[in-house]
Amino acid sequence: MTTAEVERYMRASAARGLSRTAVFQALGIRYARFMRILSTLQDVQWVGPGRSVDQRRYYESIKGHCPDHLRAVRDKAGAATRAMYSHTVRDSHGTIAQLIEHFGLSVTASTVRKRMAKGADLETALFTPAGQFRSPKTTPQE
Question: What is the enclosing helix (H) or strand (E) of 55?
Answer: helix 53-62
Confidence of residue 32 (pLDDT cuts 50, 70, 90): very high
Residue 89, SS3 per DSSP: strand
**CA dihedral of residues 15, 20, 24, 25 (deg, nearest 10):** -110
- pLDDT tens digit string along 55-105? 888 888 887 777 788 889 989 998 998 888 888 888 888 888 888 888 888
Distances (CA, A) of 126 to 70, 79, 81, 113: 37, 24, 21, 9
In the predicted model, what is the mean pLDDT of residues 35-57? 87
In the chain, what are the domain boundaries?
3-62, 68-127
Confidence of residue 137 (pLDDT cuts 50, 70, 90): low
75: Cα separation from own chain's centroid: 16
User: Are residues 11 and 44 in contact, defined by beta-carbon separation less than 8 angstroms?
Assistant: yes
Name the percent of the chain lying above pLDDT 70: 95
According to the model, what pLDDT value does residue 125 have?
Answer: 84
Instruction: Work out whether the CA dihedral 103, 104, 105, 107 comes out positive or negative.
Output: positive
Q: What pTM value is reported for the model? A: 0.43
Residues 6+ apart with CB under 8 A from 141: none
The backbone torsions φ and ψ at residue 19, rounded to the nearest 5 degrees and listed phi first, read -85, 165
